Amino acid sequence: MLSVNDVKWTETLSFRLGSLGAVISDQYAEALAEVGLKPKHVGVLGVLDAGLASSQLEIARLMRVAPSLVVSLADHLESQGAIKRLRDPADRRRQVLSLTDEGRELLGRCTDMALAIDERLDAGLTPPQRAALRDALGRLAVAYGLPVRD
């Protein structure tokens, strides 16, 4: 393990990932503004598309955000026709969200935007480096309990 004397704080993995993450998040947010969304809106669409959760409360837990934020995100997505809200017949207090065809199309556009950023991000890497980066990030995501696809 490296000690404080061996590395500068700007060389730490946490600093580099955090800084790079902030830059990339800003770029993605700017791209999403074209379609009137923010990254967390896309998070809700992605959760619904993957079938990871359907109730607002489940989505909030999965995304690690306040339930009130999911309500606000769902309000916006519903106004755009991207999702439908239904009362759970088994529990009238529970709102179940589902992705509409428009929502799937919107998620596809958002994915295309992310892929364009990915191309710029890894343009200077060789194919083996790209594969190693994706593998390492996937392993870190799993270690931190983030949803990932195999």
- Domain boundaries, given as residue ranges, for the chain: 9-143
Count Cα atoms within 13 angstroms, Cβ side, for 87: 5
Compute the mean pLDDT over every residue in the chain, rounded to the nearest whole number. Answer: 92
Looking at 1-10, 30-39, 98-107, which range is the least confident one?
1-10
- Was domain 9-143 assigned CATH 1.10.10.10? yes
CA 132-135-140 angle, to 5 degrees, is: 125
Name the residue among 36, 23, 121, 137 with its Cα closest to residue 77: 36
pLDDT in tens, 30-45: 999 999 999 999 999 9
DSSP annotation of 55 reads B
14-70: pLDDT as tens digits: 999 999 999 999 999 999 999 999 999 999 999 999 999 889 999 999 999 999 999
Angle at 109 between CA 23 and CA 121, to 5 degrees: 30
Please tell me the pTM assigned to this model. 0.85
User: Which residues face 83 on adjacent strands?
Assistant: 99
